[in-house]
Amino acid sequence: MTGFLIGFLAGSFGALVGLGGGVIMVPLLVGWARLEQHRAHGTSLMAVAGTALVGGASYAVGGSVDYLAAALLTGAAILTARFGARFTRRLNAQSLRRIFGIFLVLTAFLLPFKQQLPHVAKGGAGALSWFVLLGAGGLAGFLSGLLGIGGGTVMVPALVLGAGVPQQLAQGTALVAMILPSLIGAYTHWRMGHVDRRIAPGLLGGIVLGAFLGGQMALGMSEGILRWIFAVVLLWTGLRYLRR
């Protein structure tokens, strides 16, 4: 039941804001399920793949997925997800968390002013969107494997601020793009023994239900409200990473 509750909260929250849910799943697995940090990251990443699959399907049914952008993000993230997972034992993650926290805080302050950005006001980034998406996908894949997050904290801002796409479309595209990188990172963690098999079944059950409901809620919200919610979530997440 603990796993189911964690999965439901993370899945509904993750699909609502277009994240995999790892930003709240990892601390809950550590605090409620008493998992060691590495096992929390690996178990979270396995569940993030479930959130991406079910949540992405909800957005796809609502027509809020850009499949070309998702393919670019996925291709770049696949190349780096495995390296991020393997570097959990070798890299000084503390410095990376601080840099990532600063990035999230700055992005959170930019999101509400999306329409004032010059390239967004002109209708998008044009050909530069491809480079933005490839770079965002590579960074998201690495962070996904390293920190046990879904990568949406990088992909969604890149789509909204870099490519100038609407918030719902960005969130649905990011969730679809997370599926394969999350599976690859989760498999690597599984091979290293970082996935808790006792809590995994309940976690996945909660993820399926929560991600479906969260995706349906997001499709019913206006873009402005959803963007503000996403900005607040990024700010809270960034401050958590900086505090650590």
Question: Per mean pLDDT, which of 24-33, 103-112, 211-220 is the most reliable?
Answer: 211-220
Q: Report the pLDDT value the prediction gives residue 198, as an integer from 0 to 100.
A: 87
- Domain range annotation of the chain: 2-243
Tell me what the pLDDT averaged over the chain comes to.
Answer: 81
Q: Lowest mean pLDDT: which of 5-9, 103-107, 115-119, 160-164?
A: 115-119
Q: Report the pLDDT value the prediction gives residue 189, as an integer from 0 to 100.
A: 78
The string of pLDDT tens digits covering residues 14-43 is 888 877 677 778 778 888 888 887 788 788
Question: Per mean pLDDT, which of 22-26, 86-90, 147-151, 222-226 is the most reliable?
Answer: 222-226
Does this model's pTM top 0.85? My answer is: no
The string of pLDDT tens digits covering residues 93-105 is 676 677 777 877 8
pLDDT beyond 60 at 181: yes
Q: What angle do CA 46, 49, 55 make, to 5 degrees?
A: 140
User: Where does the pLDDT of residue 149 fall: very low under 50, low under 70, confident under 90, or very high at 90 and above?
Assistant: low
